Structure 1
């Protein structure tokens, strides 16, 4: 058993060293303007199931230099999912999006729903869950202190504090479930077909709803056989063949 463990650790070390070598070779080739060759080095790392924002970012850059619209947008989006606040990724993604044919405007969110969504997105759903658990623990401690305190002033203060903490715990729990549902509903994909006909129903005989071009980001709502129901950021929906899009498979 120990012998197998040594072999496994040696294998992991070898793969890691090989990937680092490929990454450095890819960077060198990229700086020399040999973008296709650099891309082959980066893709060799992907085959080992290694995922990182830096790797996706470099792959996207190479695709962008080769004028590959859909793959560049796809890998910038993958990099951004791992590093959502990275300014370089956001900047390069905007350049890649400018190469797209389709100009789709976001459906504006207003009022209470916009406020709730923005506030819920301050933290991930697991962070909200940790906050709610912490508040419940605080409630228990404050309530115990309230129970064993006999001074009227302190007892009143502890009662108010414990009540407030459990109230905030329920609010945090509500945001946990709300954010979790938002995460589950987030199923983005990128159009890879140069031109894709979006149908009103999931079959070739149905009417054409609209046309999309490579690099456009969509949300996948449903799947029927070889068709995906998609939604655009402006609210339009339709059905597109599976082969015309590629799911982002974002890692959370």
Structure 2
């Protein structure tokens, strides 16, 4: 009996400790999120007062605490736009649009920024515009969901051949296949955007080889979109406007899709 009591007390003690650890973790996470929201709000206040550097400092702090969001990136882009920082303004508008492709405000401000800075947008076909309506995650969810429903239908028909027959079943399976194809194409199209970068320094030289002494074939204005092909030491091989390719210094370009905590 005493042994059982001891074991029971140990179990209860472990449960209490585990509950306390869980509670502390939740409270810390909540506090961390609240701090991130506070920094975002403080950034908005600083922006409204015209203190754009201070606003950006708060926004970057919010990113470190709560991660990226379309609204946060959009506000950062607005601050860089007010500072006339061409490259970073375009970069953060593009990042915000990647997370929220259908946002009319982001699209309008990006278009306005390009117009004010004398930049020409990349030409996009109707297909590209359609597949840019959603980001990579949502196209993947659509494709996975459609494939899951399609598989479930055939599984149920294999178990009970009498169900899900006739025109309704054919319509449903056809719809699932179309959604799967659209989702897969959307994933492929959006995956290409991962290689897009924005030139963040003005009049960057496009070099014929990845060395400081290499000759220059052209220059690229800040705010221009390039496609990153590969990396070599401190250089990136990119395809610039008008299909021109060459090497530029890595610190002259930032990826539209950020890796890690880069900002």
Structure-2 change in CA distance of 1:120 and 1:169 (3 Å)? farther
- Residues of 2 paired with 1:105 and 1:51: CA distance? 25
Out of 48, 59, 72, the residue aligned to residue 55 of structure 1 is 72
Superposition TM-score, scaled by structure 1 size: 0.77
Q: Is the 8 A contact 1:189 1:219 kept in 2?
A: yes
Of residues 49, 65, 84, the one that matches 2:101 is 84
Aligned partners of 1:119 and 1:54: how far apart in 2? 22
2:90 match? 73
Aligned to 1:249: 257
What SS is found at the alignment partner of 2:223?
coil
For 2:142, the equivalent position in structure 1 comes to: 127
The residue number in structure 1 matching 2:187 is: 180
Determine if the alignment matches structure 1 residue 224 to structure 2 residue 232. Answer: yes
The answer as to whether partners of 1:25 and 1:41 remain within 8 angstroms in 2 is yes
Contact 1:60 1:73 in 2 (8 A): yes
C-alpha change, 1:198 and 1:102, in structure 2 (3 Å) is farther
Cα deviation, 1:130-164, whole Å, max 9, x if unaligned, reads: 2233234335556777x549xxxxxxx94666566
Which residue does the alignment assign to 1:41?
58
Instruction: Encode CA deviations 1:111-144: one digit per residue, 9 max, x unaligned.
Output: xxx65x6666666133023223323433555677
TM-score between both structures, scaled by the size of structure 2: 0.74
Q: Distance in 2 between matches of 1:81 and 1:119?
A: 14
1:59-106 deviation digits (Å, cap 9, x = unpaired): 111111111111111111111122111111111111222244554652
For residue 22 of structure 1, give the secondary structure of its aligned residue in structure 2. Answer: helix
Residue ranges of structure 1 left out of the alignment (5+ in a row): 150-156
Partner residue in 2 for 1:95: 112
The count of residues paired between Structure 1 and Structure 2 equals 237
- Distance apart, 1:165 and its partner CA: 5.7
Structure 2 residue ranges without an equivalent (≥5) = 1-17
Counterpart in the other structure of 1:200:
208
